[in-house]
Amino acid sequence: MGAFVLGAGPASALAYATLSLLGATPTLRVFALVAAALLFGAAGFWHLAGLASFPLNRAGRQASRSRVQRGWLGVVYFGAVLGSGLMTAMATPLVYAGALVSAAAGPMGGMFYGLGFGLGRSAPAMVGAVVGSRGPEATEVVTIMTTGSYQTSRWLGGFAAALGIATVWGLTQSL
């Protein structure tokens, strides 16, 4: 678990801080904010309508099996790939909207967003380490976290999208 978190947290912080460099250019920052607002709106609709799939969701193989199986460093690599969430299967289109917000938030905002995102993606691994073999498999934890109460998760996704739009509005006040 430690190696996975070690890969997920810092790699995600670096990935989102790098995205935030796009926001250093005023024109690209405005573009990222407009695109984020539109994507948050679309994600809110997706959640509230109960849709199952969305464009650009990456289903399928996410990491090189041969690299993942290289001991401790392989687990760090796997954490880094899954930590950013941008190159993996996603449970919600809010991931892309968050990436656009981090692009406009500046390096520190992007770094902290990425760190939080990577640690959040590590939650199933942390739960698995705590409960061990007496608890559910990591895939079951993810299923419980994303679909525990289908209707509740849909409303929470819609609420998160509304908060995202409010965040974008707040960031526009600093333009």
Residue 133 has pLDDT above 70, yes or no: no
Residue 16 has pLDDT above 80, yes or no: yes
User: Domain tally for the chain?
Assistant: 1
Q: Which domain holds residue 34?
A: 2-172
Q: Is the pLDDT of residue 148 over 80?
A: no
151: pLDDT strictly greater than 70: no
pLDDT at 144: 56
> Residue 60: what pLDDT?
62
Quickly list DSSP for the chain. Answer: -HHHHHHHHHHHHHHHHHHHGGGGSHHHHHHHHHHHHHHHHHHHHHHHHT----TT---S--S-HHHHTSHHHHHHHHHHHHHH-TTS--S-THHHHHHHHHHHSHHHHHHHHHHHHHHHHTHHHHHHHHHGGGS--HHHHHHHHHHTTHHHHHHHHHHHHHHHHHHHHHHHTT-
For the cut 80, the answer to whether the pLDDT of residue 73 exceeds it is yes
Per-residue pLDDT reduced to its tens digit, 28-45? 888 888 998 998 998 888
Confidence of residue 7 (pLDDT cuts 50, 70, 90): confident
pTM: 0.73
**Average pLDDT for residues 114-142, to the nearest whole number?**
70
Rounded to the nearest integer, the mean pLDDT of the chain is: 77
94 vs 140, more confident: 94
- Taking residues 14-18, what's their average pLDDT? 89
pLDDT at residue 170, rounded to an integer: 79
